[in-house]
Amino acid sequence: MVFEQRTLRGCETAVATPKLRGLRCREIAALTLATSKLRGLRCGGIAALTLATSTIRGHLAGFMSHSTKKNNLLSSPYLWAGTTYFAEGFPYSLVRQISSVYFKDLGASLPAIGMTSLYGLPWTLKFLWAPYLDRYGTKRKWLLIVQALLVVAVLAFAGISATSAALAGGALAFLLIAILSATHDIAIDGYYLEALDRDGQARFVGYRVMAYRLAMITGAGGIVALSHYWGWPWAMTAAAAILAILLAYHVPFLPRPEREVRPIRAILLGKGRRHAALALLAVLIVTLLALAAMRWQPLRDNLARLAPVAHVFSPAGWISVGLLVILLLLLAVRRPIQKRLMASDSFYANAFMSFLAQERIGWALAFIVLYRTGESLLAAMSAPFLLDLGINKAQYGLLSGTLGILFSILGALAGGAFIARHTLAKTIWPFTLAQNLTNLFYMALAFSYQDILAGPAATRQASLIVVAVVHCFEQFAGGLGTSVFSYYLMRCCRPEFKASHFAIVSGIMTVGGTLFGVASGFMASSLGYGRFFGLSFLASIPGMCLIPFVPFLRK
């Protein structure tokens, strides 16, 4: 019985086993099919995710590429070379051009208005503190900090101009803006030399001139016009807004060509603090004394009595001449001084002595002083000459303010392009000659219209077309000369003292205009216009003769 039951169970198991195996096979097949579908779904999902990721990466790469291109465009020197020099010229215009209009509106006396020329002292004295911008921080950081301070100072001026202290407060505000603007110039010139190589410095020199001229027009024309309609508070607020817009562009997009070695705050430590304080104190004392002289009647009377001597040079001109004399004296005894400086390791003194240690620097100084001789004589007398030819003020304004500026900018742009392509050594001769040939064209114009110059005033007029052609050529050739001379001044700067050396040469370059421009009136009065313009061309020859001997042309 038991055996039968076991046999029966074995049979049932034998029968059930293939059924169970069939069920398992079907379940395994179903499970395998489900797994394969799941794997397919998973692979498809991974593929879809991979595709989506690659698409996102492509979009991000495109966006980053577009953003990089946009940043590269906004950081291009084609933009910042113009905006920085607009920012350099605009505060200068506020101080040197607008200050006289401002004080005239407030009822200041003519002698007091004439003393506003003393606001030019910080630009002449800027070589005193220029070495600190080379040693501490970076030119970019100095540029941004001083530009921000200029925005604050101009805004403060706008507020002061609306109060009862507008006259005295305005005088002090102009002084502060002048000192900041002169420091701003040092930083911008140094930054330009730091951020661009030699070819770039030549290529964009025309953009500098163009932007600077536009800034002067904006200040002397735009801000003065706003003051007529809206008053000085709103006009100066608009000036601060212009500087703020420039600052908002410069902060993110100005390239960073320098690495900071010493932070700016280090200037307040050790000897740097003493030297910086002395330099700033010298500027403040000289300028404050000059401003106080506005109210000192005996001094003004003595100056008027000594006018033939006292007004030969402006204070800034005297300082420029003094700087040249000091440099020449140092040049004569530079070797023993250099030995002592090597032991002392004074960066401040080295900034000046390193300039004098350059090869054939004496030839360079003579060339810098004499280069603008003929141009200075012509520039001083060109406006009176054209008016004496019967050109009225409206016509002269069109010639000088519109066509003249346009051709000056075109000349500077063309000059920069030619210098970059053909080098300084090949372009300095023809550009300098073109600038000085203008004097001969004015001489021919004077001799051609001798009857008009000799007759009663405003009875006849010279041909406006002929006058316009000569004047436009003068401005175009002047742009060529300015571009080549500016680039030569850059070549005179050693890499470790770019800002200091450019401050020195830019101060010396005004000596020629100071020495020769003031004599132009006496010469034209005694010789007549024709002979005067011929003599002014002869005065330009010594500077041209120095070109074969000057250094840095092929550097």
What whole-number distance in Å separates Cα of residue 277 and Cα of residue 275? Answer: 5
| Predicted pLDDT of residue 514 | 66
Going residue by residue through the chain (555 aa), what tens digit of pLDDT does each one get?
Answer: 443 444 434 444 444 444 434 444 454 445 444 445 435 544 444 444 344 445 445 443 443 444 445 567 888 998 999 999 999 999 999 998 888 889 888 887 766 676 677 787 788 788 888 988 998 889 999 999 999 999 999 999 999 999 888 888 888 899 899 989 999 999 999 999 999 998 899 889 888 988 998 998 888 888 988 998 899 999 999 999 999 999 999 999 999 998 888 888 887 766 656 666 666 666 666 556 555 544 544 554 554 454 444 444 555 566 666 666 776 776 666 667 666 665 566 777 788 888 888 888 889 999 998 998 888 888 888 888 888 888 887 888 888 878 888 899 999 999 999 998 999 999 999 999 999 999 999 999 999 998 888 766 556 788 889 999 999 999 999 999 999 999 999 999 988 899 999 999 988 887 776 666 667 777 888 888 999 999 999 999 999 999 999 998 876
What whole-number distance in Å separates Cα of residue 200 and Cα of residue 217? Answer: 26
* 293 plus 328 within the same structural domain: no
Residue ranges making up the domain that contains 398:
309-555
Cα 251 to the chain's mean position, in Å? 16
* 194 plus 216 within the same structural domain: yes
What whole-number distance in Å separates Cα of residue 387 and Cα of residue 484? Answer: 30
Residues ≥6 apart with Cβ < 8 Å to 311: 303, 518
Written as one letter, the residue type at 117 is S
Please, are residues 85 and 409 in contact by the beta-carbon 8 Å criterion? no
Cα 501 to the chain's mean position, in Å? 15
* 251 plus 391 within the same structural domain: no
| Predicted pLDDT of residue 61 | 43
Residue 450 CA: distances (Å) to CA of 145, 351, 531: 56, 53, 12
**Residue 424 Rama label (left phi>0; alpha psi -120 to 50; beta):** alpha
* 137 plus 234 within the same structural domain: yes
Nearest to 513 by CA among 323, 373, 383: 373
Q: The tokens 């004589």 sit on which residue? A: 377
What whole-number distance in Å separates Cα of residue 487 and Cα of residue 217? Answer: 24
Domain boundary pick from 301, 318, 345: 301
The total domain count for the chain is 3
* 142 plus 203 within the same structural domain: yes
* 240 plus 355 within the same structural domain: no
pTM, whole model, 2 decimals? 0.77
Please, are residues 207 and 82 in contact by the beta-carbon 8 Å criterion? yes
B/e letters for 98-131, b = 16+ CB within 10 Å, e = fewer, are bbbbbbeeeebeebbbebbbbbbbbbbbbbbbbb
Name the maximum alpha-carbon separation found in the chain: 161
Q: How many CB atoms lie within 10 A of CB 26?
A: 10
- CATH code at 343? 1.20.1250.20
Cα 295 to the chain's mean position, in Å? 35
* 107 plus 143 within the same structural domain: yes
* 233 plus 296 within the same structural domain: yes
Domain boundary pick from 71, 96, 129: 71
* 45 plus 114 within the same structural domain: no
* 116 plus 210 within the same structural domain: yes
Domain boundary pick from 240, 274, 301: 301
| Predicted pLDDT of residue 456 | 63
* 502 plus 532 within the same structural domain: yes
* 263 plus 127 within the same structural domain: yes
What whole-number distance in Å separates Cα of residue 167 and Cα of residue 111? Answer: 15
